[in-house]
Structure 1
Amino acid sequence: MISSYWQNIKSAFTTSLSGLKTTFKHFVEARHVHKPVGISSPDYFSQDKGIMTLSYPHESLPIPDNGRYKLHNEIDDCIVCDKCAKVCPVDCIDIEPIRAISEIGKTSDGTSKRIHAAKFDIDMAKCCFCGLCTTVCPTECLTMTKSFDFSEYDVDDHTYSFATMTPLEILTKKKELEEFEATKKKTQVATDPAKTESKADSEPSLEKKKPAKPVFRPRPMIKKKKDGDA
């Protein structure tokens, strides 16, 4: 009994010493900090010693340039074609276009711009990061950036607006378009009034003719012959 008692004490001491040796080794190696390098760096697997914890947000791991996170729209290159909003599976892109009466400029790749962007909002709280909107963009103005940390206290703050038009500019452009369309319509009527009248005459009438009521006539009564009748 006494021998087993001292053997247990010896075993506990040796096992504790072995564990403390490993702890002390890591304590000595923790005098330097592990550098935050990306997985593509050749030194990524060579740094197996040191403090691994990062002081976020003061420190962070490098993000690849082709990271697909926050959406960004270069509004100067946008032709407001509405393809991104149509292809979005979660409807996180909201666009309000205003057609211009003439060409308003060109994008960086030479595409003509003929539509004003009164509103171009992207709700990143709904975005599923599929990248379909960037694929269909004809001028490649809509891209996914490597900015991954855009947390907010209010979910409404996740809606980012990229349109640069002021409310006064929006009203002015809408009024110009209305006046242009009214002038165009008057010009068409003045140049060819006969065509306008014939078009009005050829339009089908909205009044539907009532169907004629069927006339019911009683059948003539036929007398049955009795057995005694000739």
Structure 2
Amino acid sequence: MILKTTIQGVTTAVKGLLLTVRHLFAARQQRQVLDIRRDDYFEQGQGVTTVQFPKEKMPIPEVARYQLDVEIDDCIVCDLCAKACPVDCIEIEAVKSPEAIGKTSDGSVKRLYAAKFNIDMAKCMYCGLCTVVCPTECITMTDQYDRSTTKLTDLIYGFAEMSEEDIAQRKEEWTRFQAEKEAAKKK
């Protein structure tokens, strides 16, 4: 019984060592660079299979979903992206304006200021639902994927450009406009 167990142990060790030596000599070959969209991409069995990051990078498909980006000048602060987000990683705060404040690149009229527009990429599940519902297409998925950090708070990206003074001033303008509107109704 002991002899049989010993023979099985030695046989298993030799098989493992042979496999290791075979991979050692196969690693001298460089793995061919193939486009990830090819059907045979995952069938490469020979050569070094690791990518030497950051010198080498994996090819990224055109429809990849990685880092979110917002073109705040095109945002009409409609809040649809935050409502569509299943994990609530988008935080938006809007300030109303008494008149139109401008137009987006597609001609949509802007009537709200973006006081806060934060995206917490630590919470994001990269589903892309926020990009689908955006009427002005100002929120997009980029091909940036290497945003490594040791602090989760570094993954909260703020896209709003208003200062605290600007926010207070815009809120005051809206309050004044509402008061004037109410006063005009009473006359």
Shorter-chain TM-score tier: 0.7 to 0.9
Match of 1:56 among 53, 56, 62: 53
Aligned 1:114-125 pairs, distance under 5 A: 114-125=111-122
Aligned equivalent of 2:96: 99
Whole-angstrom distance in 1 between the partners of 2:28 and 2:90: 49
Question: Gaps spanning 5+ residues in structure 2: where?
Answer: 1-13
Whole-angstrom distance in 2 between the partners of 1:63 and 1:132: 20
Whether 1:168 and 2:161 are equivalent positions in the alignment is no
Aligned equivalent of 2:69: 72
Aligned-pair CA distance for 1:81: 0.4
Report the 3-state secondary structure (helix = DSSP H, G, I; strand = E; otherwise coil) of the residue aligned with 1:175.
helix
Whether 1:82 and 2:101 are equivalent positions in the alignment is no
Whole-angstrom distance in 2 between the partners of 1:128 and 1:31: 38
Whole-angstrom distance in 1 between the partners of 2:119 and 2:136: 18
Higher mean C-alpha displacement, 128-137 vs 157-166: 128-137
Aligned-pair CA distance for 1:32: 5.6
Over aligned residue pairs, what C-alpha RMSD do you find?
A: 2.8
Native 8 Å contact 1:122 1:161 kept in 2: yes
Distance change >3 Å, CA 81–CA 45, structure 1 → 2? closer
Report the 3-state secondary structure (helix = DSSP H, G, I; strand = E; otherwise coil) of the residue aligned with 2:144.
coil
Aligned-pair CA distance for 1:40: 2.2
Native 8 Å contact 2:90 2:117 kept in 1: yes
TM-score by length of 1: 0.65
Count of residue pairs brought into register by the alignment: 172
TM-score by length of 2: 0.78
Match of 1:183 among 169, 173, 180: 180
Whether 1:144 and 2:141 are equivalent positions in the alignment is yes
Percentage identity across aligned positions?
50
Aligned equivalent of 1:109: 106
Native 8 Å contact 1:97 1:116 kept in 2: yes
Bigger relative contact order, structure 1 or 2 (CA pairs below 8 A, ≥6 apart): 2
Whole-angstrom distance in 1 between the partners of 2:170 and 2:113: 8
Whole-angstrom distance in 2 between the partners of 1:124 and 1:175: 32
Question: Gaps spanning 5+ residues in structure 1: where?
Answer: 1-14, 191-230
Whole-angstrom distance in 1 between the partners of 2:156 and 2:98: 30
Aligned-pair CA distance for 1:48: 6.0
Give the residue type in structure 1 aligned to 2:102.
G
Distance change >3 Å, CA 47–CA 89, structure 1 → 2? closer
Aligned-pair CA distance for 1:120: 0.3
Whole-angstrom distance in 1 between the partners of 2:169 and 2:133: 31
Aligned-pair CA distance for 1:106: 0.9
Whole-angstrom distance in 1 between the partners of 2:169 and 2:154: 29
Encode CA deviations 1:45-97: one digit per residue, 9 max, x unaligned: 89765433322122211111210122111111110001111122211111110
Report the 3-state secondary structure (helix = DSSP H, G, I; strand = E; otherwise coil) of the residue aligned with 2:73.
helix
Encode CA deviations 1:109-162: one digit per residue, 9 max, x unaligned: 111111000000011111122222112111111122222222211111111111
Whole-angstrom distance in 1 between the partners of 2:140 and 2:92: 16
Native 8 Å contact 2:36 2:61 kept in 1: no
Report the 3-state secondary structure (helix = DSSP H, G, I; strand = E; otherwise coil) of the residue aligned with 2:51.
coil
